[in-house]
Amino acid sequence: MINLNPIVLTLFIVSLVLGYLIGTINPGYIFGRIVKKIDLREVEDKNAGTTNTYKVLGIKYAVPTALYDIFKAVIAVIISLLMGLDPVWAQFSGFMTIIGHIFPFYLNFRGGKGVASAIGMWLFYVGLYCFYDLGFIFMLIYFILLAAIFSYITRLFNLIPLTSFSLMVVFVFLHYPGAFILKFNIWFTIIVAHIIIFTMINFTSEAEIKIDDESFTGHKWRIFLRFGTIIFLFFYAFISLTVALFSISIFAAIFISLDFIRLSKEFGSKENEQSSSKVDALYRKKEKKKFSSITVYLVAYFITLVIFPKNIAIIVSVFLIFGDTFGKFFGLAFGKHKILDKTLEGSLAYLGVVLISGYLLYEFLDISPIVLILGGISAPITELLTLDMNDNFTVPLVSGAVMVAATLAGL
């Protein structure tokens, strides 16, 4: 860190005070008092931020409120820089605007949530990282694409921080280590965490998620089981392929046995009929005369690890584990446009999850980005086009084959 001599220390303290005072200026509260003679903190969601201004006063007053709340942190930082402070110290004046917004002294320390002001600080850090490294711009475009996908699916912006912003934290820690960690990365993480916490609170309160599909809601154990199978990849990555395959085979044997019990026509006694009906309760109606999707999933998982190179096997397995589940969830919750027997929103969610997991895998696995992109795109397309076959089987095999072919082609 930079030494604080008496002059710099004085400027630093002045910048903190200015930052706080700039933050306490709350347009939403002022508009509420002037336009409707009301205190925004006493109506609707009871805070004086941009969201409540929009709900109570409308877009006409929400826009200037949002603009000021967002850019007042940047204004404070710019003033600090003009005072001669280094960016390391200037950034804290931006933090003080958030504190001033949340705890204004003249409103009995009851202001807004500080999300808009935190977004202003987020903009400051994005500009800072772009200035130090132009390569950050390319990743920023990637994250913007990801944000656009989930914004379109949900018609809400609250999922953007959870997806794109959180990945940016991973990126900066991996690519800007050393001095950047203490100077900027940690503070950037704090800002992102603040934004995520409050936007997710808003999301849970505003989003009306209703799923009536009994085959999804009535078998939640399958979701937890599918997510739990990620442990097989940890076995493969850190122990051995043999341990991973042995573990999968145990679970597969259990579900294959249950399927045979369910499908067998040799139960003649009432006792056997009762045991068969108990097993049937574990399965979906559409699986009545065929092997269950969880059995097909485990068998496909086993085959994938056997036939594909390690990196590719891990990647396509991750696509299968998370892409399928989140694709179904978002498709059922937000799907409005049908494509074949799926929804556009569900397929886009599948692609979004692939983009998220693909980025993380690229950072930690030795694989060409082109190969990874081709495999990632082929996964949701295969899931969409799989009509009469089980996509638990087709997705890993097709996307894995695409990645192998791309690797052999030298891409």
End of a domain among 132, 165, 190? 132
The reply to whether 262 and 396 lie within a common domain is yes
CA–CA gap between residue 45 and residue 125 (Å, rounded)? 30
Domain count, the chain: 3
| pLDDT computed for residue 268 by the predictor | 46
The reply to whether 281 and 350 lie within a common domain is yes
Instruction: Quote the pTM value.
Output: 0.81
The reply to whether 18 and 73 lie within a common domain is yes
* Residue 115 CB partners (closer than 8 Å, separation 6+): 49, 50, 194, 195, 198, 199
The reply to whether 231 and 318 lie within a common domain is yes
Burial of residue 26 (CB within 10 Å: 0-12, 13-18, 19+) is buried
| pLDDT computed for residue 89 by the predictor | 93
The reply to whether 109 and 175 lie within a common domain is no
The reply to whether 127 and 139 lie within a common domain is no
Instruction: Give the number of C-alpha atoms closer than 13 A to the C-alpha of residue 193, restricted to the C-beta side.
Output: 7
The reply to whether 341 and 353 lie within a common domain is yes
The answer to whether the Cα torsion of 65, 70, 71, 75 is positive or negative is positive
The reply to whether 339 and 235 lie within a common domain is yes
Please tell me whether residue 343 adopts helix, strand or coil conformation: strand
End of a domain among 132, 163, 184? 132
The reply to whether 153 and 110 lie within a common domain is no
The reply to whether 292 and 334 lie within a common domain is yes
290: domain range? 214-408
CA–CA gap between residue 396 and residue 301 (Å, rounded)? 8
The reply to whether 195 and 264 lie within a common domain is no
Residue type for 337, please? Answer: H
**Do 184 and 128 meet the contact criterion of CB atoms below 8 Å apart?**
yes
pLDDT per residue as tens, the chain (411 positions) = 456 678 888 999 999 999 999 999 988 888 888 888 887 878 777 777 777 888 888 888 888 888 999 999 999 999 999 999 989 999 999 999 999 999 998 888 887 788 889 999 999 999 999 988 888 888 888 888 888 888 888 777 777 787 888 889 999 998 888 878 888 999 999 999 999 988 887 777 666 666 666 555 556 777 888 889 999 999 999 999 999 999 999 999 988 888 787 777 544 444 444 445 545 555 556 656 677 788 888 999 999 999 999 999 999 999 988 888 888 888 887 878 888 778 888 889 888 999 888 888 888 888 888 898 899 899 888 888 876 677 888 888 999 999 999 999 988
End of a domain among 104, 132, 160? 132
The reply to whether 113 and 219 lie within a common domain is no
284's tokens: 């979906």
| pLDDT computed for residue 269 by the predictor | 46
